[in-house]
Amino acid sequence: MTDTAPSPRRARRVLDTGTSYMVVGTLIAATAAYVFQLVAGRALGPEEFAPITVLWTLQFLVFTTVLMPMEQMTIRRLNESDPTAAPWKLHVRVIALTAVGSVVFAWITMGELLADDGAFLLIVAPLIIGYGIFGLGRGYLAGRHRFREYGLATLAESVLRLALALVVLAAGAGAVGIGWTLVAGSITVLAWRPFRRDGVTTPPGAVEPGTTARLTTFITANAASQTIVASGPLLVAGLGAPRAEVSVFFETFLLFRAPLTVAYSLVARILPPFTRLITEGRVAEVKRWALRMGAAGVLLGAGGYALGRLLGPIGVETLLGEEFRPTASLAGYAGGGAAIATVALFAQQILIAMRSMGRLAAAWLSGLAVSAIVVALASGSPSLRVGVAFLTGEAVALALIVIAIVSAPDRPPDEAQRAP
């Protein structure tokens, strides 16, 4: 009988190829997303495009806060030493409840945010369900080391959305038609059949004790994290800043968050090996990685701050016009904070692999608390207060994540740790 098991060299080559697909696919997807916003925004104009920005923001917040934890927990579950099927029944309930909550929110705010047009309200549920399928599907792809398909699915979601938007605009379908392109992009993951069994014989839908509690804690951690990352413009406006200052803050931080946006799709590549190291008992090796990430956060944060101060103002002005030029301090806070946030996103994958959702939530809630204190005590304009709070909160969270990893026991998780 011929041995069909892949050699270590061949397996490494497959993984390397998959990683390149993930990196290239994510970069193309991010570019297509920016082009989508540019083309649709210019074609529709600021008034007609406004409901699209609301749908986009709603999808982004729901995905990063609720659906990404679901994706990452699926990856970790499928990479454990004795994996059972990921608890898809629990995840389906989470997607359904999230869709209902999003529809209720959109209905309540339809007059203020969705131009009082019920046609946009009809898009919300399919949008959230579609991205629930997208997140869960990518979780299965990465969890089963199908990194090539993961990268292609990520690329296809954004590229198809852009292509359909061009067709819709050419046909004169307007903003509602553009809204439906958001939904169409999300279900492209099904083309790669992410849920096929691939010979897995374990019972589908098995829910391990404590899974619901861990998912809830993970969502809490991501909610705190995304509040630090994405709530800045709302907070600046709430502090009484004029609309022009809010716009400058929004565009500056949107530009500097580009590496973080790309990283959201790349963390799926590093979670499986960290999970494998933990299940094999190689915790000391993981701790060394945490210390390296902590050092990288310090260096990249300092570098991002310096480059932001030096090049940020002219860069934003060149891309968006003189009226959007930020101060050097604001650009420095955006650059340094975004660099640290990107490192923290990668570092937290170790805590996910360790099943330490409680420590992860504690780190991000502490970072959020420090951010709030800084906003309250800092002086200067609203945008500068929120900018320095963003940088400080991210730095505190990253430090606590590294400390949580390094202080963990030097042994693999046993059955007692798996209990709720």
Report, as an integer, the average pLDDT of 169-173: 88
Report, as an integer, the average pLDDT of 229-241: 77
Report the C-alpha gap between 231 and 249 in whole angstroms: 11
> What is the domain count for the chain?
2
Same domain, 397 and 294: yes
Same domain, 191 and 275: no
Output the DSSP codes for 304-357.
HHHHHHHHHHHHHHHHH-GGGPPPHHHHHHHHHHHHHHHHHHHHHHHHHHTT-H
Same domain, 283 and 196: no
Output the DSSP codes for 26-94.
HHHHHHHHHHHHHHHHHHHHHHHHHHHHHHHHHHHHHIIIIIHHHHHHHHHHHTSSS-----HHHHHHH
Whether residue 230 lies inside any domain: the answer is no
Per residue in 255-284, pLDDT (tens digit) is 888 888 778 777 777 887 888 888 888 888
pLDDT of 225 > 90? The answer is no
Whether residue 260 lies inside any domain: the answer is no
Same domain, 275 and 407: yes
pLDDT of 207 > 50? The answer is no
Same domain, 23 and 152: yes
The percent of residues in the chain predicted with pLDDT above 70, rounded, is 85
Whether residue 281 lies inside any domain: the answer is yes
Whether residue 148 lies inside any domain: the answer is yes
Query: What band does 203 get if pLDDT is binned at 50, 70 and 90?
Result: very low
Whether residue 214 lies inside any domain: the answer is no
Per residue in 382-415, pLDDT (tens digit) is 999 999 999 999 999 999 999 999 998 776 444 3
pLDDT of residue 198: 60
Same domain, 37 and 159: yes
Query: What band does 9 get if pLDDT is binned at 50, 70 and 90?
Result: low
* Of 208, 233, 254, the domain-final residue: 208
* Of 208, 231, 256, the domain-final residue: 208
Domain that holds residue 197: 9-208
CA angle 123, 254, 166 (to 5 degrees): 45
Query: What band does 60 get if pLDDT is binned at 50, 70 and 90?
Result: confident
Same domain, 187 and 276: no
Whether residue 320 lies inside any domain: the answer is yes
pLDDT of residue 71: 84
CB neighbours of residue 262 within 10 Å = 16
Per residue in 76-120, pLDDT (tens digit) is 777 764 455 555 677 888 899 999 999 998 898 788 767 788 889
Whether residue 270 lies inside any domain: the answer is yes
pLDDT of 202 > 50? The answer is no
Same domain, 71 and 154: yes
Per residue in 21-49, pLDDT (tens digit) is 888 888 898 888 888 877 887 787 767 77
pLDDT of residue 297: 95
